Each structure stands twice: as structure tokens, then as C-alpha cells.
Amino acid sequence: MRLENKVALITGAGSGIGRQAALLFAREGAAIAVADLVPQGGEETVRLVQAEGGRALFVQVDVARVADCERMVRGAEEAFGKLDVLFNNAGISHIDDGDAVSTEEGVWDLTMQVNLKGVFLGCKYGIPALRRAGGGSIINTASFVALLGAATPQLAYTASKGGVLALTRELAVVHAREKIRVNALCPGPLRTELLMKYLDTEEKRQRRLVHIPMGRFGEAIEIARAALFLASDESSYLTGATFSVDGGITAAYVTPE
């Protein structure tokens, strides 16, 4: 198994990419610390992992809070003895996020606190744990919009994900000699609640699909599979990378008919 005897902490693991990653990592042998703000989702993920014979615990976490991030890392180490993989996956996309003129300061601040500060705090407390384990892998969820910019304005989200890419690159360089790898996942448009709440009509969905060369939305499990590669020793020479899993959207200059 690709993660045998490893311990993984996944934020935002109560749904979407995080839940699929928790299930997949557990199937590959990892013990899972499921971190989420919403107890119902996090506890359900734990039940699903355990139903398949895996090991998991739930930690309720607001990733924008220092004490919560310190507690989630400590909880993973206390429960499973160490930490090998940190998947900073939690994130939000605010319905009132628009352009610079229309976006309220509170929306900007909240988005930055969760999407960027949350990754910083995960690394702040996760890196010492990885050092104690002799090294490991950090995976930070960014987005294809950090590379392209979004045609439909979502300035705070786009800027926060760009920050995740910059943070990832610097941490990768700083910690490379400590056997700590740091990489960023850039998912393309996915069939998840986060995006579908905006693309709530067939017309809106088709308008987005025309820009994706593969002609379909991605699925959360497809991103989880990429995260598994980054978590495993198969990616042992990979750090500081921007790993795009996007159906070709960042490669496309003209859209197919």
C-alpha cells in the first residue's frame, strides 16, 4: 500500500476533495486525522473510513484560529504517534466575492483568513511535527484561478490561492534539506458544492464547460488521486511544484468547438 504506516492530517475533510482524500489515503494504509469546522461532515467521514476498516479520528477545527491548528496537529500525534502527511485542503469561496469595487472588506478578510492564513497556520504547527517524524509531505490546495485569473470576478478567492502558491514555493525551498516536501494542487472546475452553488443553471454550466478542453467538470476523487501521489514516496523528488489537475484548462489558449 502506498501510505502504509503513515499518518495523514487532512483539513476540510468533511466533504468534497477532503473526504475523498481521507477515504483514499485510508485505503492505502494511512491513519487519518479528519479536521473540519462542521462536526456532522467530519464525523461522517470518520465513520466512512472506519466502515472500510481504516483508522480515523475527528478534530473540529477553524483553520483561521491559532489554537485550533495547534490542537489538530497535537491531536494527530497523540492519537497515532506521529505526522507524515499534512493536506491543507480547507477553503471557502464567498458568494459575495466579486471585483475590487464590489467586494466588501469583511469578505476579503474572511477569505484570506481561511484560504491563506489557514494554510500558514497548518504549516506553522505541522512542520515541527513532520520534523519529529523525520520528514514528510505537505500538500496545499490552491486553484487553477491562481494561474489564470477568473473570468467571473472572485478577487479575494483568486488572490488567496495565488498566495498559497507563493507560500508553497518558499516553504519548499526552506525545508528541502529536512526531507519535507511542499507542493500545491491546482484543481480545475469540479463538480462539487463549492462551484455548483454558482453554476446553478445548465446555461451557466455550459458557459464554463466550453473553456475546458476535456469538456467536463472534474470529480473530487480525481483530485484526491493526485493528492495521493504527492503524499506518497512516489513523488520523492517533487517539491515546490504547482500540480495542475484541471482538464487542460490552463493549457488552452483557444477553446474547442
Query: What are the catalytic residues?
Result: 157
**Per-residue DSSP letter, 89:** -
CA distances from 252 to 32, 170, 182, 248 (A): 37, 28, 27, 6
Q: Are 56 and 50 in contact (CB under 8 A)?
A: yes
Rounded Cα–Cα distance for residues 230 and 87 (Å): 10
Rounded Cα–Cα distance for residues 218 and 117 (Å): 26
Cα within 13 Å of Cα(202), Cβ side: 0
